[in-house]
Amino acid sequence: MIKIGPAAIGGAKQAEENLNFIKKNNLKAAEVSFTRGIYLKKPDAIRIGKIAKTLKIDLSVHAPYYINLNSKEKHKVIQSKQRIMISCELGHYLKAKYIVFHPGYYGKDSIEETYEKIKQEIINLNDTRKEHNLKPKLAPETTGKINVFGDLDQTLDLVKQTKCSFCIDFAHLKARNLGKLDLKEIIKKIKKFKHVHCHYSGINYGPKGEKNHIPINKKETTELLKALKKINCTIICEAPDTYGDSIKMNKILEKI
């Protein structure tokens, strides 16, 4: 079962109309984007969560971009964790399943040091989440730049060791691997999960990995959807025209 949806629901005032549009186009998911700031208040989050539930649209949340769990500056780590927890609290009111975030940077640390620090912070965040009875799962995302923490194996190790969830971004993995996306290998690694939260779009990349997201392409999208067919997953479309390309993806899916 594959559910597809856009990476934005709009502001508090537009959300209802957008969710109805999503439903009308037979899309079954949407991500609430707090990437440039947490813009919803509790009453709106509760209201939007109820509308989404009635329309059977699965919501997830993308936490702000300004997160670095491996910063050498202590206050930056504290602020990063606050941003994740506030996203998680609002996600709870939205009845979202996942809180997606980019975990952090290497800075001058080794791969191992970075991994350890991020691991400890996620364990700590997960404890706080449970103390407050917040339902959404923490989902560190695979990142697109080679010199940024977050390839698939690191992310899956975090899942194993911290019991967090994850978000696999196929465009980012392609950029990290300079255009190569070994779907068979990836499926082998993720097929054991009951549900997988995914991001997808076209991607421009250079020698350092990700440059920017671009529209989806039919051939590549068909290959991806075919490969994911047996996986219970949600795919959030992060192309620049997130609504238009979500609908295109859904049409491709209907023909497979």
Q: Could you list the residues that contact Zn ion (CB under 5 A)?
A: 169, 199
Least CB distance to Zn ion at residue 199 (A): 3
Nearer to Zn ion, 51 or 148 (CB): 148
**Is the separation of the CB atoms in 107 and 144 below 8 Å?**
no
Nearer to Zn ion, 51 or 228 (CB): 228
The pair of three-digit structure tokens given for residue 74, joined into one six-digit string: 């202590």
- Which segments of 35-106 are extended strands (E)? 58-62, 98-101
- CA distances (Å), 14 to each of 44, 53, 203, in order? 11, 17, 28
Nearer to Zn ion, 5 or 51 (CB): 5
Least CB distance to Zn ion at residue 84 (A): 16
Nearer to Zn ion, 134 or 236 (CB): 236
**Is the separation of the CB atoms in 40 and 12 below 8 Å?**
yes
Nearer to Zn ion, 51 or 239 (CB): 239
Nearest residue to Zn ion by CB is 199
The amino acid that residue 6 corresponds to is: P
The pair of three-digit structure tokens given for residue 38, joined into one six-digit string: 């947490």
Percent helix, strand and coil across the chain, each to the nearest 5: 45, 20, 35
Contacts for 250 with CB less than 8 Å, ≥ 6 apart: 4, 25, 26, 27
Least CB distance to Zn ion at residue 63 (A): 12
Nearer to Zn ion, 169 or 245 (CB): 169
Least CB distance to Zn ion at residue 184 (A): 22
In degrees to the nearest 10, what's the CA dihedral of 71, 141, 117, 135? 110
Nearer to Zn ion, 51 or 175 (CB): 175
Least CB distance to Zn ion at residue 134 (A): 22
- CA distances (Å), 144 to each of 164, 189, 225, 227, 256, in order? 20, 18, 20, 21, 28
Least CB distance to Zn ion at residue 169 (A): 4
Least CB distance to Zn ion at residue 238 (A): 5
